[in-house]
Structure 1
C-alpha cells in the first residue's frame, strides 16, 4: 500500500517539528561510486481537483475552506517503476555522470474497483511497451549541472527521469539556509533545513525564474491583474541519506499548486503530486564505464558506445504540446459556426463557440482561415471577432485579405475587425504596419479613418503594456516611437476642432505619459468642447502617470481660473484630483468653491458636491478632511449643503464576494433642466487591482431652449448648436463616438420620422475578456498546461420616443451580454491525460430608462433595472489513457439564480419618479 497524500503531509509535519534552520555539518564528499548500481523503488502520484472553497476571510487564493466540507472527488494516477542509478564516469573530485534507467514501469489509475473506494489499480498503457532509454546527468558536488537525454526519446519519459534526478540533489558543504537551485520548475529559491547530517528537508513556494528552455514555454496574460490568474505553490521534500556512502536512501516529496482566476477565485484547479524514492539494494557492475578526461568527453564516448545520439539540456522539464481538445466531443468548424448567427449575439451559445473557434484559429494557417471566412459570409462579423482575438499573424493576414477598406459605403466589417483588435488582450504586433499604412493612405470614409486611428493607438498601448518585443527593430520602432509621433504631429497640424478631437481620442487610447504636457496645453488653450475631449483623455490615464506638477492646473480648471472652461471639463478635473489623494488645502479650496455657488452654476456645483460625497465613501482620509473643514468653516447648514440642481453622481455595488466586487458609478450632469452629460461606468475590483470594464456616455448640448425660458438658457449653451450622441469605452479603449444629430434641423427630422423609435443596435461583438496561458513545470518533472479564457458576447442597443404634442421623451438603453469563463488545467503525458475543466456561464442584461416630461416645467425619472438571470457552473474532471477505451469522467453542476433588481439611484430621482407617476402608485 502506497502512502496517501494526507499521510505524507502528516509525516512531513511531524518531521518538520523537530528540525530547524540551524547550520548543519554534512559530509565533505557525497558520491555514488563507480562500479556500483543503486536500485530504488519509485512511485509518482498525481491528483487533480477543483480549488478548495474560499471563505470571506481568505480571499487571497491561498486555499482556505469554510466549515467541514467533504473533500471533492479527484482524478489522478500513479506511476510505479524500479529506478537504477549507476555512475558511469567519475574522473574529477566531487563530479560524476550518473545513468538513470527505468525498468518495468506500471500505470495505476483511480478506480472504484480498487481494494479501497477511489483507490488505485493497475491498468495497461503505453508504458508497458515503451522504449526505456537512460537519462545521463552531470552531478557535481551534489548538484545536477546538465542532463543528457537520448535524442527523440519520449518527452514525457525524459521529464519523469528529470524529476527523479532532481531528488538526488543535495549540495555538499551545507544543508541549511536558502540557495538558488536548478529544478524541473526552473531556478528556484530552495530553503534547506537539517536535523543532523542524514536528515534534510527542502521547502519551495514556487516563483521560480524561467531560464533557458523554460523561456520557450508559451504564455500570455491580461495586462490587468483582475483578469489574470494566480498560482500558489508549496513543495516539501524530505530526504534521508545512508550512513555509509552518504547517498540518498529515501526521499519523499509532496507538492501542491492551486490555480485560481483572480476575478472569480472558485474557478481553477489544484494539482497535487507525490514522489516516493526508496533505496532497495546495491549491486556491482563494470559495464560501459568510461574514463574520459571531462564530462563532455565522457558523454561523447557513451554516445559512441551505445550508438545513441545525445541532446544536452538543463534540468528544467520540456514542454510537450498536446491538442487542446481530443475525442468525439470536440466540435468541428461547421458545428461551431452555426452558433455564430446574428440571432445568437449575447448568448452563452455564441460566447462558447467564439472561444472554441479562437482556439482553433490559433493553430490554423492563413490559407485555412481565409477559406473559412470566404465560405461563411453570413457569419463573417463574428468570425472576424475570432480572427482579432486569436492574435496570430496568420489570423490577421487572413482577415486583411477578405476585408475591403476602400468601400466607403460598407465599413461595418472593417470596423468590426478593428474593434476586435483594439480589445484583444494579446494582439498580433504584425497588425501595426498594416493599419499604419492604411491610416497614411487616408480612407474615403472619415468614420473608418477615425476607427483606424483609435485602433492603432489602442494596439500600441496594449503591446507596450505587455512589454511585447517582436524581434524586428523596425516593428519595435514603429510601436515605441513612430505611431505616437504621427498622432501628435497630426494633432498639431489640425485646423478644425473635429480633427483635433479625433486625435485627442487617439491619445486617450495611447495613454503615453509623454503626451500629458500636450494634453494640458490643449485644455488651457483650445475651445471649450475640444478642452473637454482633452480632459477626457487625461481622465483615462492611470493615476500613477498623473504627476504632482499637473495638480495646480487641474485645480485651476475646477475653480475656472484664468479662462472659462466647459462644466464637463471642470467636473472631470475634479474627478482626477479626488482619486489622487487630494491634500487638505486642495479640499479646502474645492469646498470654498462649492459653498459660493449661485443659481446660474447650481447644476455644476451640485454635481461636484455629489462627486465629493461619492469619493468620501471609499476614502477615509478625504472624508476626514471634508468633515473637519465643514465644521471649521460652519458649513453644516441646509443653505450650504442642500443640492440646488438636478445633477447627481453616485456608486452602487452589483456583486460582492471573497474574490472582489463589481460596482457601477452613474453620473448625470444637467444643464437648464436638460441632460448635458451622463456616464455609466462599470468596475471590476480585486484585493489589489481594478479594471474599468465599461463606460457608456451620453452627451447633449444646445437643447436648453426646448425646456427653458429664454432667461434660463445655460451660460455654456448660449451659442451652441443642438447636438447629441453616445460614447462607449470598453476596457479602457475609446470607440468612435456615435452622433445622433447635429443641428436642430437634423433633430426635427429624427423626431418627425420616428427613426429612433424602433430598437436599434448601436454596437455588438465578441471579445476575449480573459486570455490566460501558463505552462507550469512541476517539481516532479510533469508539466501543467493552464488555459483560462473568458468569452464575452455583447450588444448595446437603444431606442427613443419623442412626442412634441405631449412634450415627453422616453428612452431605453439596453446592455445585453453573455459571459462564458472556461478554465482548463491539464497534466498530459504520452501515456495518460488528466484535466479539470471549470466553466461558468451567464446571460444578463441591464436596462437604463429615462422618462422626461417638459409640458409644465421639467420632470425626469431614471430607472436602472437588471432582470433575473442564472449563473451556471460546470466542473468536469476527466482522465483517459491513449490507445485504451478507459475514460474516467466526474462531473458536478450548479445553477445559481440571481433575482431581478431595480437599483435605488438617489433620493432626488425617487422623489421626481414619485411625482411623475403619482397616478400609477
Structure 2
C-alpha cells in the first residue's frame, strides 16, 4: 500500500513539479493520431455543414541542450474528409480529394523549453494553409503544469490563459481575449444593440502518462455568434482537435549539431515565425461598376419604393461598390438626366459610403450655393451624418465649406449638424477619442462660433450641432444656456444635455437637473423641466430621489401638465423596471396623502407610454410616445423608436412634433403658473436619426402663415418628414481558431424609411389631430465563414421585414379638454432565409443547402390605458 501511495505521489510530482524534465527524452519519437472536426450550425436545429481533417503527427526530440529540446514534427498523410450529402450523422465522414493532397509537406521544427515554444520553423515554400495547420499543432505542445493565469502567444494570437488541474494526471487550459499581432480590419458599431456578439469557449485538456509525457490533447473552440438585439439570429462554430497516442516509442537519430540554433540555421529554405497563424481572408468577387449596379437596381431605388425591403436591399447591394468607386465614375451618374428621379437615393448611398472620392464627386456635381439644389445637398449631408464610417478628411473639408458665406443658409445649418454627428462618430471609432485632432478642431469651431452669436437662431443652430457632437467639453456651457431667458435657447441647451448617455452624469449633475425640475433658483419653461426630469429618471434613481419626485405631486405647483408628465413617466418606467415599480409602490402605500385619487389621478392631457412593437423580427424594438400638452394643445410630442438588447437600448429614429404661441387661439383657461408666451404662432417637426439631430421642418411661423394654412387646407396634409435609406448593422471582423482556420463575420443591414407627420388644427371646430405614419423596409444580410484555405464552410442568412406604425392623436378643446391616442400596426410578414455552403476550391466541389422561413404577423391596435379609452369614446361619440 505504501508503495502504491508512493507511486501516486511520484506521478503528481512528475506531472506538476518537475514534469517538464521528463517529457520528450532525446532520441524518442511519439506518434499521435490527429483529427479536427469543424461544424457550422444554425439556431434552427438544421443539418450542420462540416469537414474533418485527419492525419498522423510524429513528435521527436532530436537534440537536448540543458533545458532546450529541439522537437521535430512530421504531419503524415493529411486528408480532408467530408460528410456524405444528405447525411444526418455527426460522425460519418468520407475522404474527399482536395488541394491538400498536392501541398508540399516537409518536416517542421520547434525549440521546446520547459513547456514554452516561441517559434516554429518550416519550409517557406509550403502553402500558407498547411503552415497554419502545423502552427496549430505545435502550439498545442506549449503548456504549463502549474495552476495560474498567464499571457501566451498561441496559434490564435496573444491570449490570456489560465491552467487548472482536473486530475492528478490531467490539466485544463482556458484561453480568452486573444489578440492578433497581424492586424486584420475590424469594423464594429459602438452602439451595443447594433453589434453581433461572438461569445466563445476555448479550452484544451491534457492527459499525461505517469512519466509526464503527453497521452492525449483535446482542444475545442466554440463560438456562438448572434445579433445582440435578437439572440436567435446567427449561428455557431464548433472545432475539436484531438491528438492521441498509445504510448509506443520509436527511436530516431540525434541531430548532428551542437545547439538547436545551429541546426536550424543549416536548414535550406526554412524560416522561423511565431505561432500566430496567418488569416485566410476570402475576398469574394465584387462588381466594381457603379453605373451597372445602379442601372440593375434602378426600379428598386424609385422614391415610391422607399419604406420597403426592395429599396433597402438595393441600397445595401450597391453600397460596397460605391465605397470603391472613383470620383470620375460618380460625377456622370449624378448629372445623368435619366437618373434624376433616383438622385436622392444615389446621394443616400454616397453619404453612407463616406469616401473622399464620393465627397468630391458630390461637390463637383451639385452646387452648394444654389437654392434649387438645397434638397439634394441636404440629402447627402444627412446621409453623411448617419454614416457609420466617418472620414477625417471629409470632416476637415466641411469645416472649410461651412465658413463660405455664399452657401445657402439651410445648407450651412445642416453642415453644422453634420459636423457634430461625424465628429462624434469619429471620436467613438477604434483608437480615436474626443482628443483626436480632427474632433478638437470641430469643438473649437463650435466654441468660437457660438461665442460670436447675438441672436437666438444663431445660438440654437450651434447648440443643435453640440447636441450631435455629445462632447463633455460643453457640459458646463450647456448648463449656462439652460438658464437663458430666451425659451428657444434654453430648450435647445437642455435637449443637447439630454443627448448624452446616462453614464456621463454624476450625482452632482443629477442634483442640478433636479433643481431645474423643481425650479429651486429660477423658473423654467415646462419643456425644460420635463427634459430635465427625463435625465433624472434615466439615472440610477435612489428611493429617496423617487420619493421626492412623487411628493412633488402633492405640491401647489400650478403647472398641472408638468405634474401629469411626472406621473405618466413614473408609471412608464415602473412598467419597464421592477426595481422602480417596487420603490414607487412602497412609497405610495406608505403615504396616505399621496395614495389618494386627487393626487394619483392628476388632471391634464399629457401622456407617456412605452410599447413593444416588434418581438419576432431582427429586432426587439420598442416605441416610446410622449405627448406634452400645454393649454389644451400639443406643445412637444415625440415618437421614439428603439432597438433593444438585454444590456441597453438604442434610439434609431425619433420624430418630434412641436407647436407654440397657439394657446391664445384654443385655451379655455390659464391656470398654468407660467408666463403667457408672447412667441409667434408656430409648429413644426424635428427628426433625430441614429443620434443625429436634423434641421427641423417648420410647418408655419407666425399668425399669417397659420391662417394661410387654415384657409388653404394645407395644414391637414401629411408632410413627408424623412425619406431615406440608411445603414444599421456594419459588423466585420475575423478571428483565428486553434486549428489555424480563419473565421469571418460579416453582418450588414439597411433600413429604408418613409415617415410623415402632420398637425391639423381647426380654430372653428376647436379641435386638432396629430398624425405620425411610419413605413420601414428592413433588410439584413449576414455571413459566418470558416476558411481553412483548402476548404471553406459558411452560413449565410438574410432577413426581410416591412413594419408599419400609425399613431393618431385627436384633441377636442371645444368644452373640456379631451385627448385620444390610437396606436396601430397593420399586418406584417417576416422572412428569414438561411444558406449553408461547403466549398473545396480548385476542384469545383460545392454543396449548398437553403432553408426559408415565413412568419405572418397579425396587425394590432395597442391598448394604452383606460383613461385614454374613455376619452376616445367621448370624441368619437360626438
Same fold (TM over 0.5): yes
CA separation in 2, counterparts of 1:200 and 1:850?
A: 69
- 1:607 aligns to 2:565 (yes or no): yes
Distance 1:428 1:449, change over 3 A: same
Q: For 1:794-809, what aligned pairs fall within 5 Å after superposition?
A: 794-799=753-758, 806=765, 808-809=767-768
Structure 1 pair 748–138 and aligned structure 2 pair: CA distance change class (3 A) = farther
Is residue 166–residue 172 contact of structure 2 (8 Å, CA) maintained in 1?
no
Instruction: Report the equivalent of 1:119.
Output: 92
Alignment partner of 1:812 out of 753, 771, 791: 771
Within 2, Cα distance between the matches of 1:236 and 1:132?
A: 28
In the alignment, does 2:832 pair up with 1:873? yes
| Equivalent position of 1:210 in the other structure | 179
Q: Does the Cα contact within 8 Å between 1:111 and 1:118 map onto a contact in 2?
A: no
Q: How does 1:709-748 map to 2 (within 5 A)?
A: 709=668, 715-748=674-707
Q: Deviations over 1:812-863 (max 9, x none)?
A: 3211112222221001233222101122221011112233455556544322
Secondary structure, aligned partner of 1:265? strand
- Aligned counterpart for 2:515 among listed residues 531, 556, 570: 556
Q: Hey, what does 1:335 align to over in structure 2?
A: 296
CA 1:316–1:717: 2 relative to 1, 3 Å:
farther
Question: Residue 446 in 1 paired to residue 409 in 2?
Answer: yes
**Deviation for aligned residue 1:811:** 4.2
What corresponds to 2:127 in structure 1? 154
Q: 1:677 aligns with which of 627, 636, 639?
A: 636
Distance 1:377 1:37 in 2: 74
Structure 1 stretches of 5 or more lacking a match?
Answer: 1-18, 54-70
Match of 1:832 in 2: 791
TM-score, normalization: structure 2?
A: 0.89
* Alignment partners' CA distance in 1, 2:660 and 2:87: 76
d(CA) in 1 for partners of 2:204 and 2:555? 70
SS of 1:131 mapped into structure 2: coil
Work out whether residues 31 and 94 of structure 1, in 8 Å CA contact, stay in contact via their aligned partners in 2. Answer: no
Q: Is residue 273 of structure 2 the alignment partner of residue 313 of structure 1? A: yes
Separation in 1 of the partners of 2:12 and 2:550?
59
Match of 1:93 in 2: 66
Deviation at 1:703, TM superposition (A): 1.0
Matches of 2:606 and 2:877 in 1, distance apart? 22
Name the residue aligned to 1:644.
Answer: 603
- Partner Cα separation in structure 2 for residue 777 and residue 78 of structure 1: 18
Counterpart CA distance in 2 for 1:152 and 1:751 is 81
Partner of 1:181: 152
> How far apart are the structure 1 equivalents of 2:143 and 2:116?
6
2:552 & 2:251 partners in 1: Cα distance?
Answer: 92
> Per-residue deviation at 1:262?
1.0
Moved more, 778-787 or 426-435: 426-435
| Change over 3 Å in CA distance of 1:540–1:195 after alignment to 2 | closer
Report the more deviating stretch, 720-729 or 557-566.
Answer: 557-566
Structure 2 vs 1, CA of residues 678 and 231 (structure 1 numbering), >3 Å: closer, same or farther? same
Give 2:198's aligned residue: 231
User: Per the alignment, do residues 152 and 573 of structure 1 end up closer, same or farther by CA in structure 2, a change over 3 Å counting?
Assistant: farther
Pick closer, same or farther for the CA change 1:520–1:719 going to 2, 3 Å: same
- SS of the equivalent of 1:212 reads coil
Matched residue, 2:864: 905
Structure-2 residue corresponding to 1:27: 19
Instruction: Determine helix, strand or coil for the equivalent of 1:614.
Output: helix
Instruction: Please give the per-residue CA displacement for 1:36-92, whole angstroms capped at 9, x wherever unaligned.
Output: 6655432222111113x7xxxxxxxxxxxxxxxxx431111112234444556x464
Q: Secondary structure at the match of 1:271?
A: strand
Matches within 5 A, 1:289-308: 289=255, 291=257, 295=261, 298-302=263-267, 306=268, 308=269
The 5 A counterparts of 1:348-359 are: 348-359=309-320
Equivalent in the alignment of 1:420: 383
Instruction: Give the alignment's TM-score, normalised by structure 1.
Output: 0.85
Q: Specify whether residues 451 and 164 from structure 1 end up closer, same or farther in structure 2 by C-alpha distance, changes over 3 A only.
A: same
Contact map agreement 1:646 1:908 (CA 8 A) in 2: no
**Corresponding residue of 1:77:** 51
Judged with a 3 Å threshold, the aligned counterparts in structure 2 of structure 1 residues 786 and 337 are, in CA distance, closer, same or farther, namely farther
Structure 1 position 183, deviation (Å): 1.8
* C-alpha RMSD over aligned residues: 3.5
Alignment of 1:45 onto 2:45:
no
Bigger shift: residues 845-854 or 540-549: 845-854
Distance 1:884 1:234 in 2: 34
CA contact (8 A) 2:574 2:584 kept: no
User: Cα–Cα, structure 1 residues 498 and 454, in superposed 2: closer, same or farther, change >3 Å?
Assistant: same
Q: Which shifted more, 738-747 or 482-491?
A: 482-491
Q: How far does residue 917 in structure 1 lie from its aligned partner after superposition?
A: 1.2
Answer whether contact 1:765 1:793 (CA < 8 A) is retained: yes
Range moving further from structure 2, 111-120 or 688-697: 111-120
Does the aligned pair in 1 maintain the 2:348–2:724 contact within 8 Å?
A: yes
Which of 143, 149, 164 lines up with 2:137 in the alignment?
164
Give me the whole-angstrom Cα distance separating, in 1, the residues matched to 2:22 and 2:448. Answer: 68
Aligned counterpart for 1:104 among listed residues 49, 62, 77: 77
CA contact (8 A) 2:838 2:847 kept: yes
- Contact residue 35 and residue 243 of structure 2 kept, 8 A: yes
Whether contact under 8 Å (2:660, 2:683) holds in the other structure is yes
User: Quick check: 1:822 aligned with 2:789?
Assistant: no
- Which residue in 2 is equivalent to 1:58? none
Q: How does 1:57-76 map to 2 (within 5 A)?
A: 71-76=45-50
DSSP-derived class of the 1:794 partner? strand
Alpha-carbon deviations, 1:548-582, whole Å to 9, x = none? 22334323322234333111111111222222234
5 Å-filtered alignment, 1:465-864, equals: 465-469=428-432, 476-479=436-439, 481-583=440-542, 586-597=545-556, 601-617=559-575, 618=577, 620-621=579-580, 624=583, 627-628=586-587, 631-632=590-591, 634-656=593-615, 661-709=620-668, 715-799=674-758, 806=765, 808-854=767-813, 858-864=817-823
Do 2:450 and 2:459's aligned partners in 1 also have CA atoms closer than 8 Å?
yes
Q: 1:11 — aligned with what?
A: none
On the 8 A contact 1:767/1:791 being kept in 2, the answer is yes
Distance verdict in 2 for CA 1:136–1:753, change over 3 Å: farther
CA distance in 2, matches of 1:151, 1:754: 79
Task: Report the Cα offset of residue 208 of structure 1.
Answer: 2.4
Q: Hey, what does 1:5 align to over in structure 2?
A: none
SS at match of 1:769: strand
2:240 is the counterpart of 1:274: yes
- Decide which moves more: 728-737 or 332-341: 332-341
Aligned to 2:6: none
- SS of structure 2 residue aligned to 1:541: coil
Deviations 1:17-37 (A, max 9, x none): xx9999834424255566666
Give the 3 Å change call, closer, same or farther, for CA 718–226 of structure 1 in structure 2: closer
Q: Would the alpha carbon gap of residues 411 and 846 (structure 1) be closer, same or farther in structure 2, given more than 3 Å must change?
A: same
1:560 and 1:24 map into 2 onto residues whose CA distance is 69
Q: Find the aligned partners of 2:126 and 2:715 in 1 and give their Cα distance.
A: 67
Instruction: State the secondary structure of the residue aligned to 1:142.
Output: coil
Whole-Å separation in 2 of the counterparts to 1:256 and 1:414: 48
Offset from partner CA, 1:86-106 (integer Å, 9 cap, x none):
556x46423244454444332
Cα distance in 2 for partners of 1:647, 1:843 equals 31
- 2:283 pairs with 297, 320, 323, which one? 323
- CA shift for structure 1 position 364: 5.3
**What is the CA deviation profile of residues 236-268 of structure 1, one whole-angstrom value per residue up to 9, with x for unaligned ones?**
333345677x65444333332111111110111
Partner of residue 849 from structure 2, selected from 883, 890, 899: 890
Moved more, 783-792 or 33-42: 33-42
Is the contact between residue 281 and residue 742 of structure 2 (CA under 8 Å) also seen in structure 1? no
Quote how far apart the aligned CAs of 1:583 are: 4.7
Unpaired runs of 5+ residues, structure 2, are: 1-10
Task: Provide the C-alpha distance between the structure 2 equivalents of 1:653 and 1:834, rounded to a whole number of angstroms.
Answer: 37
CA contact (8 A) 2:313 2:750 kept: yes
In 1, are the aligned partners of 2:103 and 2:130 still within 8 Å (CA)?
no
